[in-house]
Amino acid sequence: MRILVAGATGVIGHPLVGALRARGHEVSALVRPESRERAPEADGVVVADALDREALLSAVSAARPEVVVHQMTALRLLDDDPVAAFTLTARLRTEGTANLVEAARAAGARRLVAQSIAFAAAPAGEPVLDEDAPLYVDAPDPGWAATVGAVAELERLVRDSGPLAGVVLRYGTLYGPGTLYARDGGAAQAVLAGQLPLPGDGAGITSFLHVEDAVGATVAAVESEATGVFHVTDDEPAPAAQWLPHYAQVLGGPSPRTVPAALAPRLLGWFVAHQMTAAHGAANDRARTALGWKPLRPSWRDGLGRE
Ligand SMILES: NC(=O)c1ccc[n+]([C@@H]2O[C@H](COP(=O)([O-])OP(=O)(O)OC[C@H]3O[C@@H](n4cnc5c(N)ncnc54)[C@H](OP(=O)(O)O)[C@@H]3O)[C@@H](O)[C@H]2O)c1
């Protein structure tokens, strides 16, 4: 198939281009003008900023894709300019997605596969939630509420993208090369410096996902006829009280100290405190059944902190 990958220089997008080509697909990479020299090896390269509607329309139509894959975020800016990282990522999820849906339709594509997140659900109900659980659009933290609002809008745009067949892949917390949890990533550095304590009883649950499994699930979604919203997560949702000490040990860092849960938002920021004390996990049964996918790394224990 002819496939266009938007976000082709990214942690997921870059290896995804190679994985799709290895399956025999003809893959074009969409890259921003300033990132052209970092484009992956591909069958074609088209250049546009997704927030520039006219440029995106003409780039996508030049690639004539049958399937369009959306892997665009600005999270790479997190270390240097977190405000810009979240603001731009929200714009990519709203305006950027709307532009991409319009461009994919205009180019005659039949399918759109888009990246979302598996840790945006409101913390209520079962400890591990399916895709029907409500999103935390009314989170008490305005920043997280805005992020989840943009995620909800992305998912709405993709679900309502007819006649395009829309697929939303809600990836778990990514680990592996290039991610925050890589040995050279921000989370590892914080653990090694003893700056990531365990708040309270550490009962908040994280569903992890290795980057390789994000790529594998995306290939499966491109090749499938299934539509809808799918959690793409490993098989072992884990409370912080389990994964954080394990991660610290694998990294060779100090054992995380415990801090009172009430102090966590001030020490760690609202989102990290929420994730480690209250968040629920995400079940992957639907992706397994509908996409015929299963994780090659079923447990974060197999690799978190090793690379
Ligand atoms: N190492 C760290 O400490 C660190 C920090 C933050 C995030 N991360 C990790 O990165 C993961 C995210 O991976 P990801 O693949 O989703 O994101 P990513 O690696 O940041 O890739 C995002 C893609 O979107 C593209 N993009 C951004 N703005 C665009 C625009 N306006 N128009 C068109 N394309 C645009 C980027 O292109 P450009 O190359 O042109 O920007 C890039 O190809 C996170 O889960 C996290 O683990 C790691």
Question: Would you state the pLDDT for residue 9?
Answer: 98
Question: Would you state the pLDDT for residue 79?
Answer: 80
Question: Would you state the pLDDT for residue 76?
Answer: 86
Strands (E), 241-300: 258-259, 281-282
- The predicted model gives 73-85 an average pLDDT of 88
Which residues have any ligand 1 atom within 6 Å of their CB? 7-13, 31-32, 35, 38, 49-51, 71-76, 78-79, 92, 115, 174, 178-180, 185-186
- The predicted model gives 155-162 an average pLDDT of 97
pLDDT bin (cut points 50, 70, 90) of residue 285 is: very high
- The predicted model gives 159-166 an average pLDDT of 96
- The predicted model gives 245-256 an average pLDDT of 98
The C-alpha R_g of the chain, in whole angstroms, comes to 19
Q: What distance in angstroms lies between residue 130's CA and the mean position of ligand 1's atoms?
A: 26
Q: What distance in angstroms lies between residue 9's CA and the mean position of ligand 1's atoms?
A: 8
- Please state, in angstroms and rounded to a whole number, the distance separating the CA atoms of residues 103 and 54: 9
214: nearest Cα among 108, 293, 109: 293
Percent of the chain with pLDDT over 90: 97
Which of these ranges, 31-35, 81-85, 206-210, 273-277, has the smallest mean pLDDT? 81-85
Ligand 1 test: best mutation among 32, 87, 92, 93, most atoms within 8 Å of CB?
A: 32
Question: Would you state the pLDDT for residue 77?
Answer: 86
Atom 23 in ligand 1: which residue has the minimum CA distance?
7
List, for residues 125-152, the tens digit of each pLDDT value. Answer: 999 999 999 999 999 999 999 999 999 9
Positive/negative CA dihedral, 99, 105, 107, 113: positive
Summary mean pLDDT of the chain: 97
- Please state, in angstroms and rounded to a whole number, the distance separating the CA atoms of residues 90 and 4: 22
List, for residues 20-78, the tens digit of each pLDDT value. Answer: 999 999 999 999 999 999 999 999 999 999 999 999 999 999 999 999 999 999 998 88
Question: Would you state the pLDDT for residue 74?
Answer: 94
Question: Would you state the pLDDT for residue 287?
Answer: 98
Question: Would you state the pLDDT for residue 82?
Answer: 86
Question: Would you state the pLDDT for residue 78?
Answer: 84
H helical segments located in 72-114: 82-91, 97-106
- Please state, in angstroms and rounded to a whole number, the distance separating the CA atoms of residues 83 and 66: 35
- The predicted model gives 161-176 an average pLDDT of 97
